[in-house]
Amino acid sequence: MTMRVSLKPLRFYNQLRWHKGHTPPSRCYSTLPPNARLNIPIDYSSHPLLNHSPSSLRANVSYPQSSSFTRQNLFQAINGALKHSLRTDERTLVFGEDVAFGGVFRCSMDLATEFGSERVFNTPLSEQGIVGFAIGCAAQGMKPIAEIQFADYVYPAFDQLVNEAAKWRYREGDTGGHIGGLVVRMPCGSVGHGALYHSQSPEALFTHIPGLRVVLPRSPARAKGLLLASIACNDPVIFLEPKILYRAAVEQVPTEAYEIPLSQAEVVKEGKDMTIVSYGQPLYLCSSAIAAAEKDFGISVELLDLQTLYPWDKQTVIQSVQKTGRAIVVHESMINAGVGAEVAASIQEGAFLHLEAPVQRLGGWATHMGLAFERFNIPDVTRIYDTIKRTMEF
C-alpha cells in the first residue's frame, strides 16, 4: 500500500522562510519587543516598592524605628535572618543540599564557617529525607530550617509535609505538642530561562493544607521580618522565595532583628477606584501597570501584598474591595485552582453587593513552563494594564 503526501504545505513554508533570500528575524527567548511602552525591564534600583532610604523604612511601623540600616539584596537579608536565629538560639539548625557551601543562591553563605558543621550542614539529594529529618528534629524541640534547592524539587517531600508536618498539632490534641520552628525554605518562580524544572510556583498546592503556613515575601526587608516570624511560629511554615529577586531587589534593611506578623496583608498603596491583590515578584509588575493606568485613565488603584498566602488576611482584602468596588488578583503561578481563585471567591462572598464589576484573575496559563515561551506564560505589565482598563469600563 502506498501513501501520497502533498508537498504544497512544505513549499508554502519554504517560500515564507526564505522570502527575499533570508530568514525572518527571530529571538531565542521570549525577550521584550523593541520600543515597548509597558513591557519594559523593571528598574529595581528606583522602584517605589523598595525602600531606597532609611527615611522610607522609618515611615513603616513594621520595622524597628531605632535600628540602623544597611543596603542588602534578598539573599543577604535571608542570610541575616538565618544568622540571627543561629546566633540567638542554639536549637537552630540549617541544612539542605549544598547549604554548607553557601547554597546555589548564597543564602547560607559563611554560616557553616561561623556556626560549625553540626548546625549548618549538607544533606543527601533526597527532598523526602530532608523534610522527614526536619520534622523529627522539630518534634525533639529543635528549630530546623530546611532548604529545598528549588521549589520544583519539593514534590517527593509532599507526603512528609501533608501527612506528617501539617497534622502534628492536630494529632497531639491537648498535649501541647507541636513542631513549631520547622521552616522549609525554597526558591520559586520564573527567571526567564528556567524551563520545566527551575521555574515553578507551587504555592497553591500548600495553601490547601490546614496546619501549614505559606509565606512569600516581595523584598529583602519583608523577607527578613517574615522569616524570623516564621521561625518563631508554632506551626510548620513553607517559606517561598522569588529567586529572580535574590540579587535584583536591593533596599535598606534594618540591622536589628524584627518580626513581621504572619497572616497580615499590607496595603502597599492606597486607592479608591480598584483593588489589586498580589504577592511576590508580580507586585512590581502591578505597580508599573497601576502607574500607567492611573496616568491614562485618571483613576486611583489600591495595591495589597498578601505576604502570607495561608492562612491569608481576608479582612484587609474584603475591606479594601468594599471601599473600591473592583478587584483584580494577580499571581505568577498557574491560574487554575490558584491562590487567585480562593481570593476571588472570598471577595464574591464578602463584598458582592459592593462590586461594580466581576472580580478578575490574572495568572500563568494552565500549561508547563516552556523554555522559549516563559515570559509569555506569566502575567506581564500589558496584561495587567488591559485588565485594569476592562474592569473600569465594565
What does the DSSP assignment read for 326-394?
-EEEEEEEESTT-HHHHHHHHHHHHHGGG-SS--EEEEE-SS---GGGHHHHS--HHHHHHHHHHHHH-
What does the DSSP assignment read for 234-287?
SS-EEEEEETTHHHH-EEEEESS---PPTT--EEEE--SSEEEEE-STHHHHHH
* Residue of 204, 360, 202, 334 whose CA lies nearest to 277: 360
Catalytic: 368?
no
Catalytic: 270?
no
Please tell me what DSSP assigns to residue 33. P
Query: What is the separation, in whole angstroms, between the first and last Cα of the chain?
Result: 60
67: left (phi over 0), alpha (psi -120 to 50) or beta: beta
Options 127, 164, 302, 342, the catalytic residue? 127
Options 47, 178, 198, 331, the catalytic residue? 198
What's the Cα-to-Cα distance from 259 to each of 59, 301, 308, 313, 349, rounded to whole Å?
A: 16, 28, 13, 17, 32
Catalytic residue IDs: 127, 198
